[in-house]
């Protein structure tokens, strides 16, 4: 194990690893944020009076939570390009190989996985807001949007934060699986460095430490957010 | 989409089920034993043991399973001492590396689940057991474990499903379990959706069995919910 391998100079892999680490953050944040969209939609659908919407939400969350993440990533990795190629071939007559951006595939697949877990958290959080709060807001004549943004959302967010923290941590770790698509996030960067230098332990250890730093750091951020969102409540004071 | 292709890929994929199940069962059972050890260490009087267990949980929950697996399978081969040691027979084998990585990983999560269950046992129950003169072992066996197990089972069921899904990572270290075979068929036939559906159905079925097993265990742990025996059906007059 030599430290010069991790330097930023020539022959060092420091910059590759740094870019990989930044890519991991970028793809994790985007996937998590993107996942909140199907998550919120599924949460709303599961509380809908229409049976088919509830069934749709159930199918989405059950399927995604019951099928391995890696398999879902393979589906999008191999599936989207073959689908786009088929469409292009049919409409433009171009039969060549088209590769879809690995970042987009990563965000799409990990985001959809993350969304299935977010859905449960969001649904529970919305259900935790007492009915009287919404009824009081309606009685005051507040508009639908104002009720959602000023009454429902702030109170639900406080309840959702611990659960969302869990989903975020899982999403962050799931991004390591995107390395199979060739996206140069931290895992892929460590792979490349390990292959060239024949020092796999060194580089995977560095990757592990970077993940540990990210999960630890973001857990602290969430803890602060929980304190902030509970500032109006007695029991939440530190 | 080709329905024929889905049916054709099933038999090939089913060949991987055995390996998937072996990985899951072996790692879940070893992981449970490790987790119990970790929980005991976490509750011990020795600060060093407590810190060790805490550090273990922190590291294994804070890093992706894929990194842990790669460190074990690809990483350790970097050291000549490891390659020369008697452990090399195990550590060069992708099956054992996957099993060890999965077991070490799940142990960290399960120890937290067990700890939550044990902490949920009201101290009054334990004091009452002391008061009627139960020994420490009897208290564990008759009071703490049954109550803690009930509390922990739902979370443990979730972890079981996560573990079954996690066995798919073994395909990244050349093992041909269900996901590995699925990848192989896809790269040969380009029938992405058909193979995905077939493999997905297999995983869903395995997970369904796990869910049912957890339900059965839950019913067994809650004797109070059972219908009392020999009751006559009550007719509403």
Start-to-end CA span in chain B (Å): 59
Give the number of residues written for chain B. 237
Does pLDDT of B236 surpass 70? no
Closest CB to B62: pick one of A78, A207, A212. Answer: A212
Contacts of B87 (CB under 8 A, 6+ apart): none
Give the pLDDT mean for B202-220: 95
Decide if A18 is inside a domain. Answer: no
- Whole-number Å distance between alpha carbons of A156 and A159: 5
Does pLDDT of A134 surpass 70? yes
- Whole-number Å distance between alpha carbons of B122 and B32: 24
Report the CATH number that the domain containing residue A98 is assigned in CATH: 1.10.3720.10
- Whole-number Å distance between alpha carbons of A57 and B162: 20
A141, with CB counted inside 10 A (0-12, 13-18, 19+), is exposed
Hey, is the C-beta of B92 within 8 angstroms of any chain A C-beta? no
Q: Residue A234: its pLDDT value, please? A: 65
Tell me the two tokens of residue B171.
């395909």
Least confident of A226-235, B65-74, B183-192: A226-235
Tell me the two tokens of residue B71.
């460190």
Tell me the average pLDDT of chain A.
90
Decide if A234 is inside a domain. Answer: no
Q: What is the DSSP code (8-state) at residue B227?
A: P
Contact status, residue A46 vs residue A54, Cβ threshold 8 Å:
yes
The model's pLDDT over B23-39, given as tens digits with 9 standing for 90+, comes to 999 999 999 999 999 99
Percentage with pLDDT > 70 across chain A: 97
Closest CB to A176: pick one of B61, B66, B161. Answer: B66
Contact status, residue B163 vs residue B187, Cβ threshold 8 Å:
no
Does pLDDT of A237 surpass 60? no
- Whole-number Å distance between alpha carbons of A66 and B158: 10
Inter-chain contact B193–A69, Cβ cutoff 8 Å?
no
Q: How far is A230 from chain B (nearest CA, A)?
A: 23
Q: Residue A4: its pLDDT value, please? A: 75
Q: How far is B182 from chain A (nearest CA, A)?
A: 8
Number of cross-chain residue pairs from A and B with Cβ atoms under 8 Å apart: 114
Q: How far is B66 from chain A (nearest CA, A)?
A: 7
The model's pLDDT over B102-136, given as tens digits with 9 standing for 90+, comes to 999 999 999 999 999 999 999 999 999 999 999 99
Decide if A189 is inside a domain. Answer: no
Closest CB to B169: pick one of A62, A70, A201. Answer: A70
Inter-chain contact A71–B67, Cβ cutoff 8 Å?
no
Hey, is the C-beta of B204 within 8 angstroms of any chain A C-beta? yes
B168 C-beta neighbours (distance < 10 Å), count: 28
CA distances from A24 to A34, A107, A189, A192, B41 (A): 15, 11, 10, 15, 34
Decide if A177 is inside a domain. Answer: yes
Does pLDDT of B10 surpass 80? yes
Q: Residue A138: its pLDDT value, please? A: 94
Reported as a pLDDT band with limits 50, 70 and 90, residue B231 is: low
Decide if A11 is inside a domain. Answer: no
Q: Is B133 left (phi over 0), alpha (psi -120 to 50) or beta?
A: left
CA distances from B24 to A173, A236, B102, B195, B209 (A): 20, 40, 8, 22, 13
- Per the structure, the count of domains in chain A is 1
Reported as a pLDDT band with limits 50, 70 and 90, residue A235 is: low
Give the pLDDT mean for A150-162: 91
| ipTM computed for the complex | 0.89
Contacts of A182 (CB under 8 A, 6+ apart): A102, A188
Homologous superfamily assigned to B3-225: MetI-like (1.10.3720.10)
- Please give the distance of CA B171 from its chain centroid, rounded to a whole number: 18
Tell me the average pLDDT of chain B.
93
Closest CB to B203: pick one of A66, A180, A190. Answer: A66
Q: Residue A2: its pLDDT value, please? A: 64
Give the pLDDT mean for B166-187: 95
Q: Residue B189: its pLDDT value, please? A: 87
Domain span at residue A88 reads 23-183+213-229
Q: How far is A215 from chain B (nearest CA, A)?
A: 6
Decide if A165 is inside a domain. Answer: yes
Inter-chain contact B161–A68, Cβ cutoff 8 Å?
no
Q: Residue A128: its pLDDT value, please? A: 93
């Amino acid at each position: 194990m030599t430290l010069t391998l991790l330097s930023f100079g020539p022959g060092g892999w420091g910059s590759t690893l740094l870019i990989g680490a930044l890519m991991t953050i970028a793809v994790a944040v985007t996937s998590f944020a993107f996942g909140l969209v199907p998550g919120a939609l599924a949460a709303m659908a599961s509380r809908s009076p229409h049976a088919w919407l509830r069934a749709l939400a159930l199918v989405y969350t059950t399927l995604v939570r019951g099928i391995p993440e890696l398999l879902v990533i393979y589906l999008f990795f191999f599936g989207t390009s073959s689908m786009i190629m088929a469409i292009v071939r049919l409409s433009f007559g171009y039969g060549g190989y088209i590769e879809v951006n690995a970042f987009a595939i990563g965000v799409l697949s990990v985001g959809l996985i993350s969304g299935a877990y977010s859905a449960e958290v969001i649904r529970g959080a919305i259900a935790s807001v007492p009915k009287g709060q919404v009824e009081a807001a309606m009685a005051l004549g507040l508009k639908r949007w104002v009720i959602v943004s000023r009454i429902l959302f702030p109170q639900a967010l406080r309840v959702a934060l611990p659960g969302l923290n869990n989903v975020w941590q899982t999403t962050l770790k799931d991004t390591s699986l995107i390395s199979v698509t060739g996206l140069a996030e931290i895992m892929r960067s460590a792979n490349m460095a390990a292959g060239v230098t024949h020092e796999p332990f060194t580089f995977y250890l560095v990757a592990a430490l970077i993940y540990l730093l990210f999960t630890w750091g973001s857990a602290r951020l969430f803890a602060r957010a929980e304190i902030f969102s509970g500032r109006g409540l007695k029991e939440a004071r530190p | 989409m080709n329905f024929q292709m889905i049916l054709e890929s099933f038999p090939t994929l089913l060949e991987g089920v055995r390996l998937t199940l072996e990985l899951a069962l072996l790692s879940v059972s070893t992981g449970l034993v490790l987790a119990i050890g970790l929980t005991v260490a976490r509750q011990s009087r020795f600060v060093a043991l407590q810190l060790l267990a805490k550090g273990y949980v922190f590291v294994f929950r804070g890093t992706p399973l894929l990194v842990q697996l790669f460190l074990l399978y690809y990483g350790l081969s970097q050291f000549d001492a490891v390659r020369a040691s008697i452990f090399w027979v195990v550590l060069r084998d992708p099956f054992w590396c996957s099993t060890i990585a999965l077991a070490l990983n799940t142990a960290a999560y399960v120890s937290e689940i067990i700890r939550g269950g044990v902490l949920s046992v009201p101290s009054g129950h334990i004091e009452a057991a002391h008061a009627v003169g139960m020994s420490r072992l009897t208290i564990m066996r008759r009071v703490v474990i049954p109550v803690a197990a009930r509390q922990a089972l739902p979370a443990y069921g979730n972890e079981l499903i996560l573990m079954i899904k996690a066995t798919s990572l073994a395909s990244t270290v050349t093992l041909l379990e269900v996901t590995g075979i699925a990848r192989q068929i896809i790269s040969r036939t380009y029938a992405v959706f058909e193979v995905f559906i077939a493999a997905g159905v297999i995983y869903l079925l395995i997970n369904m069995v796990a869910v049912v097993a957890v339900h059965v265990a839950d019913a067994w742990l809650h004797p109070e919910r059972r219908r009392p025996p020999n009751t006559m059906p009550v007719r509403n007059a």
